Amino acid sequence: MSDTLTEAPQAPEAPTQNAGVVHGLYREGEPIADTKAPKVDIKDRWTTRQFEAALVNPANRRKLTVIVVGTGLAGGAACATLGEAGYHVKSFCYQDSPRRAHSIAAQGGINAAKNYKEDGDSVYRLFYDTVKGGDFRSRESNVYRLAEVSANIIDQCVAQGVPFAREYGGLLDNRSFGGVQVSRTFYARGQTGQQLLIGAYQALERQIAAGTVQMYTRHEMLELVLVDGRARGIIARDLVTGEVETHLADAVVLASGGYGNVFFLSTNAMNSNVTATWRAHRKGAMFSNPCYTQIHPTCIPVSGDHQSKLTLMSESLRNDGRIWVPKRREDCEKDPRDIPEEDRDYYLERIYPSFGNLVPRDIASRQAKNVCDEGRGVGPKVGDFARGVYLDFSDALARMSTEAVAEKYGNLFDMYQRITGESPYEVPMRIYPAVHYTMGGLWVDYDLQSNIPGLFVAGEANFSDHGANRLGASALMQGLADGYFVLPNTIRDYLAHGPYPKVEETHDEVVAARTAVEERVQKLLSVNGERSVDSFHKELGHIMWEYCGMERSEEGLLKAIDLIRSLKDEFWRNVRVLGSGATLNQSLEKAGRVADFLELGELMCIDALHRRESCGGHFRTESQTEDGEALRDDQEFAYVAAWEWGGEDGIPTLHKEDLVFDYVHLKQRSYK
Amino acid sequence: MRITLQVWRQDGPQDGGGMRDYVLDDVSEDMSFLEMLDVLNEDLIGRGEEPVAFDSDCREGICGSCGLVINGRAHGPEVTTTCQLHMRSFHDGDVISVEPWRADAFPVIKDLVVDRSAFDRIIQAGGYVSVNTGAAPDAHATPVPKDDADKSFASATCIGCGACVAACPNASGMLFMGAKVTHLGLLPQGQPERDARVVKMVNQHDHEGFGGCTNIGECAAACPKEIPLDVISRLNKDLRTAMRHGH
């Protein structure tokens, strides 16, 4: 396979078949566009669409079944709301309870354009900040709607009993977050994700009790069922009994989260995976902007090979902590307290004097990598380099007193100490960037429908709202906006255009999907090789982080594609999955997910390779300004890259959706 | 560090289980307890033995998936979740026993994995505010005293891990249930259903096979989120009030 990589560009054979083939890796197809957003002023688009969407008579709703995969903010909220509307909902999650979806781990807060602080916030400003923050790679219509429904989300959650922070007068408190200049973030201490998710979970459990939602916990979707080109169900495996089950419906919603675990080490939950969306991609759903990964600058660094996961420290620490590394390499192993002021390099304050330690996530992350690459990183070595920089609170402790620092950051300091065994009150913290969120996902139109009729995608699983970079406190907003307010309105239009012919479990396409799953499970169990699933996953993670992480180059990406192909080949020859398919078998679960990550990893590298510009957290070495800053290329790349699966032995096809900016003018970001 | 593990192995819900010993020679104190089990599992797979099944997901102490009885204590020697317990809490040469949660209402599925769906059914019985999406008034229409909101939040931090049940000699789920009753009962939004909620939840709790509370307090001592014992007093008070109101 690796041969085609080097040979194909020089010697294209059979030009008719290879027309438009680039690098031997992909071809370009027809452009695509969203046709669902009404062509009216942006302020009126959502109201118009809601009115134009057809209605389903309440008596008919109970005859219609909707499958929802995933129970995080988007999936849980969608299940609850569709259940309340009277549809028959089947809800699936791989965890033992819907309450454990990874949305629960979000710390910071949720944005909403309430303007409760009277500080000049508005729907338009939230829309503007989100488009600009995403480096102009998201779709205006979708982002405007997100800002528009944000205010309703807060009302809904408060009515459910979500205990947001309040002021002494009893009204809700807000804070500013992630460098935004208005206070529009609602929060519940450092557990906003948990509190919002529990709200959605309780609403979902209420519908389970009411009988509108049927819950399938410890179930994993392993295939999408298409009948006559429409999404009509899923094949799922009961993770306890191992039974492969067929579930049919009138429409399918994927709300299965992001795919950051392709990097093995990330802030994602251990079992977060790409399988649901990847299986849909292989059935024809386009995968958009897969290379857009958000790297978060303030995570606890890796301490050794045993490491299974990375823990995020709230970004708020950058408000008072100062980031530095030693000026000289030979000082890196010294106790930081013995390094005098003049031998420290406060590199963010030096390079970006006006923003200092508060530069955006992508910039803070890249500069940390640069100083570590120079050999000036601190802490334990991972490979040849120490991967850590100091986040030092000694100035803050002197200025504010220990009590004041503890009041503000005490719980974070305790968490850090528990994980590292060091007290940030005494020794500077060490931090390093880590993979946090993926902005790419399945392509959807304004209705959140993929290019497969009847297949809807919500939350982090779709690509639509964050462009190349996500603002802090916007992930929770998008999950709940999609689940509570958008999907229930758009899916009814699809359902109202039915009824779609009834499908039997014995239908050829259903049987074929199920057989494919059973065969795949058997195949994984029968390889009987030498290497554990985790060892493959870790190796893939290294490749992805090294070549498709914070900094990417053509040379590196071509190498990564080569390495991933060899690894995939070895996986199917040499993976060892013990036990049977008829019981709880966690190695088998992981094996299926890693097999999909291997295919996704290759597509991420192809996407990163073709996008020869730097935008968001995606820095291409070939596209930078004279002083080394990210350089976007709007002439060439102001589009969404939507990839079509090319078949088992084929190459993917790139479809471009041009991004049109009628309201927010394209501008280069600068933080100097 | 050299660690000897005595791990509960059980093939399936119907099988009898037993403890099995494993020795690990290179345990680093920086490992979390679960990462130490990951290392054990890699070792077992290498030797052709099925890895130990255990639940974990976020590994940040918030999803509530993980839960092991370590040396007889729910989540082990520190007041935290199992994923946030690190090997520096142990010593070179230690022998550590690892078992699943033990309670009739939490049947064992395999090895260290138990079925905690009884907790979901308790929430289904009434652990929510009945409000349909889109019908909510402006969030500022109902002020909530800061003190109430803060206390409500403190109960809402429950992650549903089940350590309270595992620690209780009666396998009672009263701390879990008390946390929810307190969270919603302190807010104006939770008042209309307050009486009905507590009665329905307690009935479901008993129906699931959890034991009654005899105020031993092990639950609060083991709770990784430090939910205080007085949520149970509040639950009992709400239950008496509801009964007086004829529920």
- What is the pLDDT averaged over residues A291-313? 92
A386: nearest Cα among A425, A449, A430? A430
Cα A513 off chain centre by: 27
**At residue A629, does pLDDT exceed 80?**
yes
Q: Which two tokens stand for residue A565?
A: 């192909």
Query: Does A214 contact chain B (CB < 8 Å)?
Result: no
Q: Is residue A568 part of a domain?
A: yes
- What is the pLDDT averaged over residues A422-447? 96
| Cβ-based contacts of B37 with chain A (< 8 Å) | none
Q: What is the signed CA dihedral for B47, B50, B52, B54, rounded to 10 degrees? A: 140
- What is the pLDDT averaged over residues A631-656? 96
Look at A182 and B223; give whichever has higher pLDDT.
Answer: B223
Query: Rounded distance, CA B151 to CA B145, Å?
Result: 10
**At residue A279, does pLDDT exceed 70?**
yes
Q: Is residue B214 part of a domain?
A: yes
Cα A624 off chain centre by: 25
- What is the pLDDT averaged over residues A541-547? 96
CB within 8 Å: B12 and A583: yes
Q: Chain A: give the shortest CA distance to residue B147, in Å.
A: 8
Strands A389-392 and B18-24: unpaired
> Do the beta carbons of residue A364 and residue A472 sit within 8 Å?
no
Residues 6+ apart with CB under 8 A from A439: A134, A289, A292, A293, A294, A463, A466, A467, A468, A469, A470, A616
pLDDT of residue B96: 98
User: Do B122 and B215 belong to one domain?
Assistant: yes
Each residue's pLDDT tens digit, B35-55: 999 999 999 999 999 999 999
Query: Rounded distance, CA B37 to CA B51, Å?
Result: 9
User: Do A429 and A519 belong to one domain?
Assistant: no
Closest residue on chain B to A149 (Cα): B134
A297's enclosing H/E stretch is: strand A293-299
What's the pLDDT band for A12 if we cut at 50, 70, 90?
very low
- What is the pLDDT averaged over residues A552-559? 98
User: Do B169 and B217 belong to one domain?
Assistant: yes
Query: Rounded distance, CA A492 to CA A417, Å?
Result: 50
| Cβ-based contacts of A188 with chain B (< 8 Å) | 153, 156
Residues 6+ apart with CB under 8 A from A331: A339, A343
Which residue type, as a one-letter code, is found at position B128? Y
What's the pLDDT band for A178 if we cut at 50, 70, 90?
low
CATH number at residue B41: 3.10.20.30
Residue A103 Cα distances to A77, A107, B184, angstroms: 12, 9, 21
CB within 8 Å: A104 and B63: yes
User: Do B121 and B220 belong to one domain?
Assistant: yes
A370: nearest Cα among A621, A561, A625, A608? A621
Alpha helices in A374-483 (DSSP H): 394-400, 402-420, 475-480
CATH number at residue B121: 1.10.1060.10
- What is the pLDDT averaged over residues B157-167? 98
Residues 6+ apart with CB under 8 A from B72: B97
Q: Which of A99, A279, A322, A361 is catalytic?
A: A361
Q: Is residue A602 part of a domain?
A: yes
Q: Is residue B8 part of a domain?
A: yes
Determine what percent of chain A is predicted with pLDDT higher than 70: 97
Q: Is residue A170 part of a domain?
A: no
Query: Does B226 contact chain A (CB < 8 Å)?
Result: no
Write b or e for each residue in B190-207: b if 16 or more Cβ atoms lie within 10 A of its Cβ, otherwise e.
Answer: beebbbebbbbbbebbee
Alpha helices in B106-215 (DSSP H): 117-124, 146-156, 163-167, 174-185, 194-207
For residue A386, what are the β-bridge partners? A381
Look at A522 and A20; give whichever has higher pLDDT.
Answer: A522
For chain B, what is the domain count?
Answer: 2
pLDDT of residue A409: 87
Q: Which two tokens stand for residue A259?
A: 């795919």
Each residue's pLDDT tens digit, A520-537: 999 999 999 999 999 999
For residue A148, what are the β-bridge partners? none
User: Do A345 and A429 belong to one domain?
Assistant: yes
Residues 6+ apart with CB under 8 A from A385: A372, A373, A375, A377
> Do the beta carbons of residue A621 and residue A553 sit within 8 Å?
yes
**At residue A385, does pLDDT exceed 90?**
no
User: Do B232 and B155 belong to one domain?
Assistant: yes
* Residue numbers of the domain that contains A363: 296-436
Q: Is residue B136 part of a domain?
A: no
**At residue A9, does pLDDT exceed 70?**
no
Each residue's pLDDT tens digit, A570-610: 999 999 999 999 999 999 999 999 999 999 999 999 999 99
User: Do A344 and A429 belong to one domain?
Assistant: yes
CATH number at residue A421: 3.90.700.10
Can you tell me whether residue A532 is helix, strand or coil? coil
Q: Best interface-test mutation with A: which of B37, B62, B151 has the largest number of A CBs within 10 A?
A: B62
pLDDT of residue A179: 65
pLDDT of residue A2: 39
Strands B95-99 and B3-9: parallel
Each residue's pLDDT tens digit, A448-469: 999 999 999 999 999 999 999 9
Q: Which two tokens stand for residue B215?
A: 């105020």
User: Do B121 and B237 belong to one domain?
Assistant: yes
User: Do B226 and B120 belong to one domain?
Assistant: yes
Q: Is residue B34 part of a domain?
A: yes
User: Do B121 and B229 belong to one domain?
Assistant: yes
Q: What is the signed CA dihedral for A201, A498, A251, A509, rounded to 10 degrees? A: 160
User: Do B51 and B125 belong to one domain?
Assistant: no
Each residue's pLDDT tens digit, A78-106: 999 999 999 999 999 999 999 999 999 99
* Residue numbers of the domain that contains B100: 3-110
Q: Chain B: give the shortest CA distance to residue A156, in Å.
A: 5
Annotation says A361 is catalytic: yes
Q: Is residue A214 part of a domain?
A: no
Give me the residues of B, 170-199, that contact A with CB < 8 A.
183-184, 187, 189-190
Q: Is residue B92 part of a domain?
A: yes
What's the pLDDT band for A354 if we cut at 50, 70, 90?
confident
Preceding omega of A499 cis (within 30 degrees of 0): yes
What's the pLDDT band for A319 if we cut at 50, 70, 90?
confident
User: Do B98 and B120 belong to one domain?
Assistant: no
pLDDT of residue A19: 62
Closest residue on chain A to B160 (Cα): A99
For chain A, what is the domain count?
Answer: 2
User: Do B124 and B47 belong to one domain?
Assistant: no
CATH number at residue A553: 1.20.58.100
pLDDT of residue A670: 73
| Cβ-based contacts of B110 with chain A (< 8 Å) | 583-584
Alpha helices in A331-389 (DSSP H): 347-351, 361-373
Residues 6+ apart with CB under 8 A from B66: B34, B54, B55, B56, B57, B59, B81, B82, B83, B161
User: Do A412 and A537 belong to one domain?
Assistant: no
**Of residues A100, A154, A583, nearest to B63 (C-beta):** A100
CB within 8 Å: B88 and A421: yes
Q: Which two tokens stand for residue B127?
A: 């652990």
User: Do A540 and A634 belong to one domain?
Assistant: yes
| Cβ-based contacts of B117 with chain A (< 8 Å) | 96-97, 217
Q: What is the signed CA dihedral for B216, B225, A74, B57, rounded to 10 degrees? A: -90
Query: Rounded distance, CA A586 to CA B54, Å?
Result: 9
Q: Is residue B137 part of a domain?
A: no
Q: Best interface-test mutation with B: which of A71, A93, A115, A198 has the largest number of B CBs within 10 A?
A: A198
Q: Is residue A484 part of a domain?
A: no
Domain C-terminal end among A436, A463, A485: A436
Q: Is residue A198 part of a domain?
A: no
**Of residues B42, B150, B189, nearest to A161 (C-beta):** B189
Q: Chain A: give the shortest CA distance to residue B133, in Å.
A: 6
Can you tell me whether residue B190 is helix, strand or coil? helix
Q: Is residue B60 part of a domain?
A: yes
**Of residues B86, B132, B136, nearest to A158 (C-beta):** B136
B99's enclosing H/E stretch is: strand B95-99
Query: Rounded distance, CA A552 to CA A624, Å?
Result: 12
- What is the pLDDT averaged over residues A147-172? 97
User: Do B95 and B198 belong to one domain?
Assistant: no
Three-state helix/strand/coil letters over A41-77 = CHHHHHHHHHHHCCCCCHHHHCCCEEEEECCCHHHHH
**Of residues A96, A172, A194, nearest to B116 (C-beta):** A96
| Cβ-based contacts of B135 with chain A (< 8 Å) | 159
Strands A429-438 and A389-392: antiparallel
Q: Hunting for tokens 């690509």 — which residue is that?
A: A463
Residues 6+ apart with CB under 8 A from B98: B5, B6, B7, B8, B37, B68, B69, B70, B112
User: Do A401 and A512 belong to one domain?
Assistant: no
Can you tell me whether residue A432 is helix, strand or coil? strand
| Cβ-based contacts of B36 with chain A (< 8 Å) | 306
Query: Does A271 contact chain B (CB < 8 Å)?
Result: yes
**At residue B153, does pLDDT exceed 90?**
yes
Q: Chain A: give the shortest CA distance to residue B94, in Å.
A: 20
For residue B32, what are the β-bridge partners? B86
Q: Which two tokens stand for residue A622?
A: 């070939």
Query: Rounded distance, CA A533 to CA B51, Å?
Result: 12
| Cβ-based contacts of A152 with chain B (< 8 Å) | 134, 136
What's the pLDDT band for A184 if we cut at 50, 70, 90?
very high
Query: Does B131 contact chain A (CB < 8 Å)?
Result: yes
Q: Is residue A575 part of a domain?
A: yes
Which residue type, as a one-letter code, is found at position B20? R
Q: Is residue A356 part of a domain?
A: yes
A127: nearest Cα among A182, A167, A89? A182
**At residue A496, does pLDDT exceed 50?**
yes
